[in-house]
């Protein structure tokens, strides 16, 4: 049998919004609400979300 435990890497963790926030850049717009799953948000915005305390 395989391992009973599977290591979960940081970038594979589910990203849940801690607060409301809006990303708006050219054709991309995301109206984020607290509790939203942010896994579909492009990675280019992840640093901004960290800086803004959204994740």
Q: Is position 3 an interface residue for another protein (rule: CB under 8 A)? A: no
Shortest distance, position 22 Cβ to another protein, whole Å: 6
- CB closer to another protein, 5 vs 24: 24
Binding test (CB under 8 A) with another protein, winner from 13, 35, 37, 44: 44
Enumerate the H helices of the chain as residue ranges: 46-51
Report the candidate in 4, 35, 32, 39 with the shortest Cα–Cα distance to residue 18. Answer: 35
Residue 53: exposure state from Cβ atoms within 10 A (0-12, 13-18, ≥19): exposed
Q: For binding to another protein (CB under 8 A), which residues are involved?
A: 22-26, 29, 44-45, 47-48, 51-52
């Amino acid at each position: 049998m395989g391992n009973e435990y599977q290591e979960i890497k940081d970038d594979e963790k589910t990203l849940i919004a801690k607060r409301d926030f809006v990303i708006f850049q050219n054709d991309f717009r995301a109206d984020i609400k607290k509790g939203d799953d942010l896994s579909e948000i492009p990675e280019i915005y992840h640093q901004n979300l960290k800086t803004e305390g959204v994740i």
